[in-house]
Chain A
Amino acid sequence: MSNQVYAFALDSTLREIKHVCPDVTSIFVFEENAQTIAKDDDTTQETISKTVDAFQTIKAKSETAGGLEAVTIQGSEGRVSIASINNFYLATVTSKEADEKFVDSLTRILIPTVVKLVDQIQPARRRSGEPTMAAELELAEESIQEPIQEPVEYAYQEEAVEETEYPEQSEEEMPTVEETVAEELVESVKEVQADNFEENGLVLPEPPVTQVIVESLGRLQFKSDTVRIDNSIIEQWKDLYGDRIIEEVELDALNGKTIRCKFSPIKDSKYQGKGVIQIPDKIQAAMETSKGKLVMVKPVVE
């Protein structure tokens, strides 16, 4: 996922922490690669860079301690704490009057919670420049799917929309009033999703699961490890994944049996657009299914 999402969410969180604890004089979050993710308004980038440099030199020597989790520096006038939190590092500078336990509790609970919340809104797999969910957005907006197709792949999207509490509103109508950190967070996620969609165009969604009806293939005319799938379903996958080569599918029978096998399009025109899958007898036997029964099919995208 883009760090922009974390930046939006954490910026707000850091602001709130400083409001709650005026004794926090400086607070910022940076990444393993020293990139600043979020910071309060009073801390300059130069200060952060110097701090991160000094911190990295300690980190480089800390292998013997099994990797660095936190550094706390106590001075006569204040304290600096740098702690590892969910792939990030949180630096907190407090004055000597600060209640250490309160600040620690607040930062070490609130920041991971916010990061976790962002991860839940957008799965962690999308970190570090991995494909975003623009295509899923696009798909979620399509109201008409193949009648036999179950919207399993959009379950997450629906959940996310519910969490926003604005299910009826479009992106443009989203309120911008920052009432709570969570609301800001959700708003930020949606903004970045929209940005990514505009910038990147079609991207890789979750593999769609499609329910199909089993048809027999016979024993002699086909490879026993290959199923034939309705061409319209394969076309949908092509639309979703573009040039990405899909060589295998995963079949799930209703009894829980799962099989992974090769596939090809159905050649017989009478089956086109009917939502059927032709399965060799051998595979049918392995899945304990038979003609006329339902199975779920999804592409294996690697």
Chain B
Amino acid sequence: MAKKKKSMSETADIVFAEESAPIVEAVEEKQVSQDLATRLSKMCERPEVLGFILRDATTATINLKEPEKIVDYALLTSQALESSQEISQIFNLGDFESTLIEGKNMKTLCFVLDENRVNIFMEKDLDHADILNIVRQ
């Protein structure tokens, strides 16, 4: 992982040098996004993880074990993030960190990481705190 980041940083320096800082930043973000997607995809190999939706400013990476539910999941997570931020403001919770939505059949963990909106769907018994720690590492 660290090696990958270094490689991207070197590439950015070579291509854009210092006079084009915003573009370098964008490229780095893209790389973070890809790393995150890779980590999430690995996590999806666990049977208790039902899938994830990862969104950055321009793209979305989706990996669901039940692809037919993509619209439902997308609507749920989108609304959950929006409403959670609203509730967070009402009670002055400071910076929004995460939302856990527990349903009867499954639960969804939504959080923001480096400008990426991450939504992980999992079975109810799975320890979501553990998942959150792994992803944030």
| B90, A67: Cβ atoms closer than 8 Å | no
| B100, A66: Cβ atoms closer than 8 Å | no
| A66, B79: Cβ atoms closer than 8 Å | no
B108 at the interface (CB under 8 A from A): yes
A143 at the interface (CB under 8 A from B): no
Q: Which of A25, A62, A76 contacts B101 (CB 8 A)?
A: A62
Q: A79–B104 Cα gap in the complex (Å)?
A: 22
Closest chain B residue, CB of each to CB of A81: B100
| B91, A58: Cβ atoms closer than 8 Å | no
Q: Which of B72, B96, B104 contacts A69 (CB 8 A)?
A: B104
Q: A213–B70 Cα gap in the complex (Å)?
A: 69
Tally A residues with Cβ within 8 Å of B. Answer: 32
B residues less than 8 Å from A58 (CB atoms): 76, 79-80, 83-84, 101
A72 at the interface (CB under 8 A from B): yes
| B73, A73: Cβ atoms closer than 8 Å | no
B115 at the interface (CB under 8 A from A): no
| Chain B 55-76 interface mask (CB, 8 Å, partner A; 1/0) | 0000000000000010011011
- Interface residues in A64-95 by Cβ distance below 8 A to B read 64-80, 93
Q: A58–B88 Cα gap in the complex (Å)?
A: 14
Closest chain B residue, CB of each to CB of A78: B93
Q: Which of A57, A64, A74, A78 contacts B83 (CB 8 A)?
A: A57
| B76, A73: Cβ atoms closer than 8 Å | no
Most buried by A among B84, B87, B97, B106: B87
B interface SS class: mixed
Most buried by B among A63, A75, A96: A75
| B93, A51: Cβ atoms closer than 8 Å | no
Q: Which of B97, B103, B104 contacts A75 (CB 8 A)?
A: B97
| A75, B96: Cβ atoms closer than 8 Å | yes
B residues less than 8 Å from A73 (CB atoms): 84, 87-88, 93, 96, 98-99
Q: A79–B87 Cα gap in the complex (Å)?
A: 10
B residues less than 8 Å from A69 (CB atoms): 102-104
B residues less than 8 Å from A60 (CB atoms): 79
B130 at the interface (CB under 8 A from A): no
A61 at the interface (CB under 8 A from B): yes
| B91, A80: Cβ atoms closer than 8 Å | yes
| A66, B83: Cβ atoms closer than 8 Å | no
A50 at the interface (CB under 8 A from B): yes
| A74, B80: Cβ atoms closer than 8 Å | no
| A64, B76: Cβ atoms closer than 8 Å | yes
A residues less than 8 Å from B94 (CB atoms): 75-78, 96
Closest chain A residue, CB of each to CB of B73: A64
| A75, B100: Cβ atoms closer than 8 Å | no
A residues less than 8 Å from B105 (CB atoms): 65-66
Most buried by B among A50, A51, A68, A72: A72
A177 at the interface (CB under 8 A from B): no
Q: A67-B103, A70-B102 are in contact. List 16 more A-B contacts (CB 8 A).
A: A26-B91, A47-B90, A54-B87, A55-B83, A57-B83, A58-B76, A60-B79, A61-B72, A62-B103, A65-B102, A69-B104, A71-B84, A73-B84, A73-B99, A74-B97, A76-B94
Task: State the 9 A-B residue pairs at the shortest beta-carbon distance, nearest first.
Answer: A65-B103, A75-B93, A77-B94, A66-B105, A76-B94, A64-B72, A66-B104, A54-B83, A76-B95
A residues bordering B, Cβ < 8 Å?
Answer: 25-26, 47, 50-51, 54-55, 57-58, 60-80, 93, 96
